Structures are given as structure tokens and as C-alpha cells.
Amino acid sequence: EVRLVESGGRLVQPGESLRLSCAGSGFRFNGYAMYWIRQAPGKGLECVSYVSGGGFATYYTDSVKGRFTVSRDMSTDTLYLQMNTLRAEDTAVYFCAKGRNSFGAFDIWGQGTMVTVSS
């Protein structure tokens, strides 16, 4: 079964850091681009970051550039999102998703992990 499982979300204070993880299974993990997509409570979807299959290319949405870093560990089939200097507006459910192909539609999603930034 193709599966993605996120973890690491919790309540943090503004300015703190957090690392999210996403474990993949059931597919050739390093063969596909991976994404982090977030959804603020009651809001729409926003693509936060992209990492290529080989891990060499990354992209970020403007609001997180310089604060978030995406990476992947090929040895453990795990995707990471290091989030620094968190702000209240980063509060959201964070999903990891597999690209159908390079820059493709998101065909497999994890269940999501909730990040709350509040004092």
C-alpha cells in the first residue's frame, strides 16, 4: 500500500522552531518529487515547498523563504520540513504529498499534522 505518514506537529510559541517528518512507504520514494502543502483552519490549500526526486532542487512559497527548509533522507524514505522563526500565520494542518511526476499533480497525501503557533 502506498502511504505517507506525517508527524511532528504541536503547539509552539512565536519565534520557535519545529521539524515535521513524513515517512513514505509502498513506492520508490527517491523517484518522485515531494511537497509540503498546508491548510489553515477553515481555509484553502497552499503549497509551501517542493523537493525534487533526487533532493537537489527545492522551491518555497514566498512567505516561508529563509525560514523553512525542506529535505529528504533517501536511506529512510523520509521527507522533512524544518520550520524556524514560526509566526501565528503559519498555523495550519501540514500535509506531505507525492507528485505524480516532476511538478505533477499530488496523487498521494498524508493524513496531515497540526502546527499551532500561539503564545
Partner 1 sequence: EIVLTQSPATLSLSPGERATLSCRASQSVSDYLAWYQQKPGQAPRLLIYDASNRATGIPARFSGTGSGTDFTLTISSLDPDDFAVYFCQHRSNWPPTFGGGTKVELK
Minimum CB–partner distance for residue 97 and partner 1 (Å) = 8
Phi-psi region of 85 (alpha: psi -120 to 50; beta: other; left: phi over 0): left
Q: How far is 79 from 5, CA to CA, in rounded Å?
A: 10
Please, which of residues 40-69 interact with partner 1 by CB under 8 A? 44-47, 50, 59, 61
Contact flag: residue 27 with partner 1 (CB under 8 A): no
State the pairing for strand pair 78-83/18-25: antiparallel
Q: Is 8 in the site for partner 1 (CB under 8 A)?
A: no
32 binds partner 1 (CB under 8 A): no
Q: Do residues 70 and 63 make contact, with C-beta atoms less than 8 angstroms apart? A: no
Interacting residue ranges for partner 1, rule: CB under 8 A: 44-47, 50, 59, 61, 95, 100, 103-107, 109-112
